[in-house]
Amino acid sequence: MGMPRSRLAIGVVAVLTTVAVAAPAAAHDPAADGGWEKSVDDAFGAVVSPMADVLFFDVLKLFGGDGKTQLPIIVAWLVLGAVFFTLRMQFINLRAFRHAIDVTAGKYDKEGDPGEVTHFQALASALSATVGLGNIAGVAVAVGAGGPGAVFWMIVAGFLGMSAKFTECTLGQMYRTVDDEGRVMGGPMRYLSAGLEEKGKAGLGKVLATLFAILCIGGSFGGGNMFQANQSYVQVKSVLPILDGNAWVYGVAMAALVGVVIIGGIKRVGTVAGIIVPIMCGIYVLAGTFVLLANASEVPAALGKIVGEAFSPQAGLGGMLGVLVQGFKRAAFSNEAGIGSASIAHSAAATDEPVREGIVALLEPFIDTIIICTMTGLVVVVTGTYSGEHGDGVAMTSAAFGSVISWFPNVLAVAVFFFAFSTMISWSYYGERCWTSLFGEGSSMVYRVTFLIFTALGPMLQLNNVITFSDLMILGMAVPNILGAIILAPKVKDALDDYWERYTSGKMTRNA
């Protein structure tokens, strides 16, 4: 059976890379009128529109909404899922927080536990996929569109998302499989299939698992790859003008660097992420702290704005809801809680306690959203750059830091590069695991090579619809993932109760 599946995989790659094979290298000018780039973009546009109509359908229309304030159905789905898991797991995001830090620090590690990476490396791998442009640009977009109050709702969304991460990553460990060579297969494509089969819903489980895998593969090529390469190129060339007009050089160099890491599999991804993520997060937080100290007298007023405008009484219910949606929406894009992607990385952690890895995972939204996103939001509000005079997204954040640290835009370019790089190597692993779940382990190299082709193409292409399509696929992953996780929640809760009783009673041993 391995051979036919490999041939099928190669056939899929042939379709995906037709653009790369058919297009001459000299045709990569974004300013070109039409051409093959526009043809591909238009083709994807036909798919993007109906997909966006479904995922961003305004729920408020069902209740007579006027369309001015919108609540996209996918945002509502993510929020309701996070609230459900927080209540169902009895606020595990609060009561297990200290224990999560101890486990991540290795205080409960044991020699011989099955898995490929440590708790810390699994956390770093998952964080490297979420800590990135969303924290730098996405927060600025949220504050620019919803005002300072959006930061408050981002914090709330991050708090609730901790419980969603716990649930999906515990399931990832529960249903993972380890082959004879020690390779782990885990994540929604496993627990949706095997878990729902246990519940007598084998047909539904297979459909949800396949849907998730397809969406994840598409998202890994686009939002987790081409978008990162493209946006990092835009920022880097702003401080290295020599790259302007030489996107192919940047693309090939990025592909080479990514290739060195991903060819080595999750162990190398975990090692590299374990180095890059703490350093870049540390630099970013230190710079943000410096900016806040330089504007210390303005911080209380900024905090007052963030809390006060979160409820926007002067704008009425509609105004408050608009701010809430902006905050929750950007938090969902940033920390991916409920998307299911992180459970793929955490399933590879070396442990014989599934709940323990879920507890480690709940730290992700805390670090990603409650710390880093809040830092960005505070800096933007304190410096006043959210007014719109300094541009949007990365430009707004860069102006905010630059107002105090004149040379920081150069550092930001480096940060954007490494954040994009770390996101790409983690998403390559997510996509590969989903790819092999469909086509077999023998086709993993086919996926990796294809991923690198898209990495090289990313900076050269201006395929807006392709990127939008990919982002929609990433958000779409939440549909099968949360549905399956809700059905399997009783099993997670039983395992949590057993684990927590052993932990609180002192029956659980830890390292010195």
- Tens-digit pLDDT profile for residues 369-425: 888 888 888 888 888 777 666 556 667 777 788 788 877 777 777 877 888 888 888
Set out the domains of the chain in order of their start, with CATH numbers. Answer: 70-504 (1.10.4160)
Q: Do 58 and 325 meet the contact criterion of CB atoms below 8 Å apart?
A: no
**Other beta carbons within 10 Å of 109:** 16
Rounded to whole angstroms, the Cα distance separating 391 from 172 reads: 41
How many alpha carbons lie under 13 Å from residue 46 in its C-beta half-sphere? 5
pLDDT of the residue at 179: 73
Rounded to whole angstroms, the Cα distance separating 335 from 369 reads: 6
Closest by CA to 358, choosing from 219, 489, 484, is: 489
Q: How confident is the model at residue 27 (pLDDT cuts 50, 70, 90)?
A: very low
* pTM of the complete model: 0.81
pLDDT at 312 exceeding the cut of 90? no
Amino acid present at 386: Y
Of 32-36, 40-44, 69-73, give the lowest mean pLDDT range.
Answer: 32-36
Mean pLDDT of the chain: 78
pLDDT of the residue at 44: 63
Mean per-residue pLDDT, 132-143: 71
